[in-house]
Amino acid sequence: MVDFIGIGRVRELVARRGAARFMAELAAEIEADFRRWDAFEKSARHASHSPLGVIELMPASDGRLYSFKYVNGHPKNTAEGLLTVTAFGVLADVQSGYPLLLSELTLTTALRTAATSALAARHMARPKSRVMALIGNGAQSEFQALAFHELLGVRELRLYDVDSAATAKLERNLTRLHLPGLRMQRCADAAHAAQGADIVTTVTADKRNATILTAPMIAPGMHLNAVGGDCPGKTELHRDILARADVRVVVEFEPQSRMEGEIQQMPADFPVTELAALLRGAAVGRVSAAEVTVFDSVGFALEDFSALRYLRRIHHEEPGARPAIDLVPDLDDPKDLFALLAAPLRARGVAA
C-alpha cells in the first residue's frame, strides 16, 4: 500500500501544526535541501504548452528518494469556475523504485511557493522590512501574505489587483485569520502599491509579457519578489528594472530560469546567483541598503521534493486517518503478476 495525502489531510495537517509552524518547518526543509544542492539530480521541468496554458512535469532526486510533480497553469480556467493551477506529486524509493507517497500538491504548491519566497527574502530584503506591496490578489496571494507576516514580520500590506473582487477576497480571508498587527491598504494601481514598500511581491496570472512594474516605481533598497512570471513568454517586470546597475538577481535553477523567468528578457550572459549559493553562504543576497534585489522565482522541483518529504513525515507524526491506496500489486510470487487476474477470470468462467 502507498501513503495517500489528499486535500482533506493537508488541511488537517496545517490545522494541527498551525499555519505559522507549518510554514516555518516547510521553509526549513526547503533550506536544508538547497544546502545540499550538489547531492541532487536536477533538470528543468518538461513543459507541454498550448494556447490556453501549460502542463508540466517536475522531477528531482537525491539518489535515495525521487519525486515528480504534475502541474498545470491555465489562467483562463477561472472564467469556467476552474482553478488556474492544479497539481499532484509522487515520492518514491530509488533503491526499489516503489512509490512511497501519492499526494495532492495544489494546496501544497501554494504553501511551498510562499515559504520559498519568504526564505529568499530573509537573505535579500533589508532587515526590519515591514511594508509589502502585494500586486495580484488571486489564489497565491493569501499564502504570500501569511508567509511574509509569519516568517519576516511584515505588518503592512499594500494591495492591488485589476480585479477589485480579488482584493476584497484577500482582505476577507486575511481578516478572518486575525493576524496580529497586520494592516491592509487598498491601492489605486501598481505604482501606488509600490510606493513606500520595502518588499514588492508580484503574483499575477496572465500568460503574457506583462509590465506590472516599471523602473520609475522602484526605489533604492527595495526587494522584488517576482512570482508570476513562470513560463516562456510570461513576465511581470520591465527589462529596464533588471538592467539597472544596482540590481542583484537571484534564481532557483539557472538553466530553467533562463527560459522561464524574468531573466528570459536579458542576454544569456546576464549575471545571476542561484538560491543555493545564498543559502550555503557562498554568495550574499545584498551588499548595501540601497541595492535593489530581485528574487526571480519560477518554482523548482527541489521545492516539491522537500514538500513531499515533509508531508510524509508529518503525515505519520500527526494523529488522524492515514489513508493508503493499492497503487502497487502485493504478490506472493513477484514473478507471477498474472495471478492477480487468474482467480477472477476463473471465477467468471465457472459462473458462465
| Contact (Cβ atoms closer than 8 angstroms) between residue 62 and residue 87 | no
| Contact (Cβ atoms closer than 8 angstroms) between residue 160 and residue 190 | yes
Beta bridge partners of 31: none
Q: What is the largest CA-CA distance in the chain?
A: 82
d(CA 293, CA 121): 9
| Contact (Cβ atoms closer than 8 angstroms) between residue 328 and residue 5 | no
Amino acid at 328: V
β pairing state of 223-226 and 131-135: unpaired
Question: How far from the centroid of its chain's Cα atoms is residue 194's Cα?
Answer: 23
User: What's the angle, vertex CA 234, arms to CA 31 and CA 56, rounded to 5?
Assistant: 60
Taking residue 139's Cβ as centre, other Cβ atoms within 10 Å add up to 17
Q: Which one-letter DSSP state was computed for residue 319?
A: -
Check if 230 is active-site. yes
Phi/psi region, residue 196 (left: phi>0; alpha: psi -120 to 50; beta: rest), is: left
Q: Which of 3, 161, 198, 230 is catalytic?
A: 230
Q: Which three cell numbers stand for residue 94?
A: 530509488
Q: Which residues are catalytic?
A: 230
